[in-house]
Amino acid sequence: FDAREGVIWFNGELVPWQDAKLHVLTHGLHYASAVFEGERSYGGHVFKMTEHHERLQASAELLGFSLPYSVTEIDRAANEVLKANGIVDGYVRPIAWRGSEMMGVSAQHNRINVAVAAWEWPAYFSPEARLQGIRMTLADWRRPAPDTAPTRSKAAGLYMICTLSKHAAEAKGFNDALMLDYRGQIAEATGANIFLIQEGKLHTPTPDCFLDGITRRTVIDLARERGYEVIERAIMPEELARTQEVFLTGTAVEVTPVSEIDDYKFTPGEITRDLLTAYDDLVRQPGLAASAA
């Protein structure tokens, strides 16, 4: 991945892709003092770009550091990177981390570095193919309590258990893992939020120890505009037995139906299809993504 063509925005400059390197004694690498974002460009415009960069800034503050660039400057950087690489439909990955000046747990004065990379996003499956649904299995790892980790931050360290859970799921032939939280309630997937449909109503866990995803909030608004009731509450895994449809939401997965969580089977139906299409239409609507950004 690091031997590509192209440029990456690195501390205020566009550098050749292969030169966007950092030192092995980087604090962010050793102690996970890093925060990042995941965004998508549709037709040359990043959907809700400023919201993503505001979250990047908030994530950094939650890890005790401030970004040396404003949200507006990072918005500009993302647009510059997309343009310089000629990317129209792509993925944008900003990241900020503590540098390598001092090595040790304490690194109060290490430089805060920021980079923004972007790459083409491979053509996604058709809505029909996506409606087949993905297969999930329960993870062994649980989302930590808000007083155990800075759970509102999109912090690199919080992804350690996501990678472990996703790898374990893939090793068993599943696509993704369902993570419970420290109380045993349904939390989310390894990189997406989750919705359950019961008797025509949408239920989604209250985001009190995991990311309140930008896609999650967008889909809640779309659902309510369409007259569906959306209930945010604590949901125990036993409830999967009386759930008719399940889908995930996230920048990368958009709206992705789920066909199976271990022994529980679901058939993506009318509501999932309706919201999947509504989200596709919203993000791909010419002009709208631009004004939303």
Which of 90, 81, 78 minimizes the C-alpha distance to 41?
90
Smallest distance, ligand PMP to C-beta of residue 252, A: 7
- The DSSP bridge partners found for residue 136 are 176, 261
153 lies in the site for ligand PMP, by CB under 6 A? no
Task: Give Cα separations from 152 to 1, 203, 248, 263 (angstroms).
Answer: 29, 21, 19, 31
- Contact window for ligand PMP (CB under 6 A) among 8-16, 134-142, 188-196, 226-234: 188-196
192 lies in the site for ligand PMP, by CB under 6 A? yes
188 lies in the site for ligand PMP, by CB under 6 A? yes
Q: Can you tell me whether residue 127 is helix, strand or coil?
A: helix
Which of 95, 181, 186 minimizes the C-alpha distance to 136?
186
Spot the catalytic one: 21, 48, 83, 154: 154
Q: Which of 6, 150, 213, 268 binds ligand PMP (CB under 6 A)?
A: 213
Question: How is residue 113 written in tokens?
Answer: 């570095």
Closer to ligand PMP by Cβ: residue 189 or 240: 189
Which of 23, 34, 27, 106 minimizes the C-alpha distance to 67?
34
166 is catalytic: no
DSSP E strand stretches across the chain:
7-10, 13-16, 34-36, 39-42, 45-46, 90-98, 112-120, 134-138, 176-180, 186-188, 193-198, 201-205, 230-233, 245-250, 254-261, 264-265
Question: How is residue 37 written in tokens?
Answer: 């974002």
211 lies in the site for ligand PMP, by CB under 6 A? yes
Which of 38, 40, 36, 37 minimizes the C-alpha distance to 280?
40
Closer to ligand PMP by Cβ: residue 7 or 82: 82
209 lies in the site for ligand PMP, by CB under 6 A? no
Closer to ligand PMP by Cβ: residue 249 or 259: 249
193 lies in the site for ligand PMP, by CB under 6 A? yes
Residues 104-123 touching ligand PMP, rule: CB under 6 A, are: none
250 lies in the site for ligand PMP, by CB under 6 A? yes
Kindly write out the interface string for residues 18-57 of this chain, putting x where it contacts ligand PMP by CB under 6 A and - elsewhere: --------------------x-------------------
Q: Which of 41, 100, 251, 272 binds ligand PMP (CB under 6 A)?
A: 251
Smallest distance, ligand PMP to C-beta of residue 268, A: 19
Over its C-alpha atoms, the chain yields an Rg (Å, rounded) of 19
215 lies in the site for ligand PMP, by CB under 6 A? yes
Size of the site for ligand PMP (CB under 6 A): 15
Own/partner pairs for 274-278, CB < 8 Å, 24+ apart? 274/226, 275/219, 275/222, 275/223, 275/226, 275/247, 276/127, 276/130, 276/131, 276/247, 277/127, 278/222, 278/226
Q: Which of 180, 216, 257, 275 binds ligand PMP (CB under 6 A)?
A: 216
205 lies in the site for ligand PMP, by CB under 6 A? no
Question: How is residue 164 written in tokens?
Answer: 């472990």
Q: Which residue is nearest to ligand PMP (CB)?
A: 213
- Contact window for ligand PMP (CB under 6 A) among 100-108, 196-204, 246-254, 277-285: 246-254
User: Catalytic amino acids?
Assistant: 154
Give the footprint of ligand PMP on this chain (CB under 6 A): 38, 162, 188, 191-193, 210-211, 213-216, 249-251
